Amino acid sequence: MIRVLLLACCALELAAESFPAQRAIDYLVREVPRWSKENACFSCHNNGDGARALYVAEQYGYRMPTVALADTTRWLSAPADWDRNRVNPAFSDKKLARIQFSAALAQAYDSAIIRDRSALMAAAQSLIPYQEPDGSWQVDAGSAVGSPVTYGTALSTYFARRTLEMAGFTEPAKRAKQWLTESKPHSILDAAALLLALPTRRDCLDMILRAQASDGGWGPHAMSAAEPFDTAVVLLSLRNLDQPRSVARGRAFLIARQRPDGGWPETTRPPGAQSYAQHISTSAWATLALVLTDSER
């Protein structure tokens, strides 16, 4: 009898490991701490996007070793040190790093993993000097379409506003909301980011629903091939809008594109390039989408 129970437990554990979301989490648990250990600095892709996905997954009850995020959590808890990150100045983008680290810190605070409100306040304060006069945060402003490592203006503004609102900085958050309300989407990513910020944006919802590809995913434009990053952000924007068929087809696309190791092929602009940073951010977004659209949990 004991042997039968042990075999049953092992079978359940193996089945759980085959679940796409859990496999993705297990992959990020290995990759998130890797960059800081190998490069003696913290990456806004691993320790920003990747950590944010894991904080959400932990909040939703997925299993992971606590030690996986220990160094990242210590780093995020001290925004005053973010400028002393050991990186090559030629590749340093403090604006983007602040947005991504602040988003991860805000998620950790929301999940009660980081409890120090002064850290959240400091992170939010560090965003304000980078706000444009129109209320937005322009990252990769020269490109019409954002990417996993550059976000684009709409997604950057969504995250910055969320952090500012959580920290109680009402005036810059209000100006950001005004920009998000008035902005016109020029890509599917824009539409998804604006819908995330303002679920009442019917123009963005209509644009997204019309653009779903036959394989269930979304690309940067209506006629573009579907990509994991764009699909993941769209799924997050749709998850509370009563679109079960579109969400189910989008999930199926992500699951079909998941690699055997649990991650996803990087979404790059133009497509088909290789980039570890893009790969980690793409995998983090896809993980988030699977975790937050899982109707079984």
* pLDDT at site 250: 98
Q: Is the pLDDT of residue 144 over 60?
A: yes
Within a domain: 9? no
User: What is the pTM for the complete model shown?
Assistant: 0.91
Within a domain: 148? yes
94: CATH: 1.50.10.20
Within a domain: 5? no
Q: Is the pLDDT of residue 66 over 90?
A: no
* pLDDT at site 140: 72
Within a domain: 10? no
Mean pLDDT on 12-34: 80
Q: How many domains does the chain have?
A: 1
> Could you tell me what percent of the chain has a pLDDT over 70?
90
* pLDDT at site 101: 97
Host domain of residue 239: 17-292
Within a domain: 113? yes
Confidence at 254, pLDDT banded by 50, 70, 90: very high
Within a domain: 94? yes
Mean pLDDT on 109-118: 96
* pLDDT at site 89: 53
Confidence at 88, pLDDT banded by 50, 70, 90: low
* pLDDT at site 87: 58
Within a domain: 227? yes
- CA–CA gap between residue 4 and residue 120 (Å, rounded): 50
Within a domain: 3? no
Q: Is the pLDDT of residue 11 over 90?
A: no
Find all residues with CB under 8 Å of 146, minimum gap 6, and list them: 139, 140, 152, 153, 154, 155, 156, 187, 189, 190, 193
